[in-house]
Amino acid sequence: MGRLAAEVKRAAAEVGVEVTEATQAVCQQLRQSLLHRFTDGLQAWPSWIWEHTHDEYATRCPDGWRAVGDFTPNGSVTMLFDPSDDDSMIVFRSGEDVVRVLSECYGFEVYFTDQQGSFLLIHNHHDCLVACGTAKQWTQERYPLVPC
């Protein structure tokens, strides 16, 4: 477990939210699935995946990480990070739980998906909210375009 996962687990315990850490095998499989689905053929996860996504919607949104609280297909949400910071993945029961936990954490770049990898929601260090897959249209309808 890396430092960001430790911070998330600390905050989760503080607010009484149950989280689980994905196995390394699941992490590797899900990262590859996201690369395949949302980038143009990348084989390895780059430091800033949002610079390589295709068919995305991106808008400046300082609290963009809160979007996952309202966008929760299939219930559970998997949180992941830039692997150079932390290669862990944390699984939450809902996006609402994610918001409760992140509200107690210091700021960091964070990515969200589901277990199927059907969407990718990113809140990066430029305060941009980037949405791919099933999250794209939903985000376009709720967050006005402000260039990043």
pLDDT in tens, the chain (148 residues): 799 999 999 999 999 999 999 999 999 999 999 999 999 888 888 778 999 999 999 999 999 999 999 997 558 999 999 999 999 999 999 999 999 999 999 999 999 999 999 999 999 999 999 999 999 999 999 999 999 9
Q: Concatenate the DSSP letters of all residues of 23-61 into one string.
A: PHHHHHHHHHHHHHHHBSS-SS--S-GGGSBSS-EEEE-
Nearest to 55 by CA among 130, 127, 125: 130
- Are 26 and 110 contacting, i.e. CB atoms less than 8 angstroms apart? no
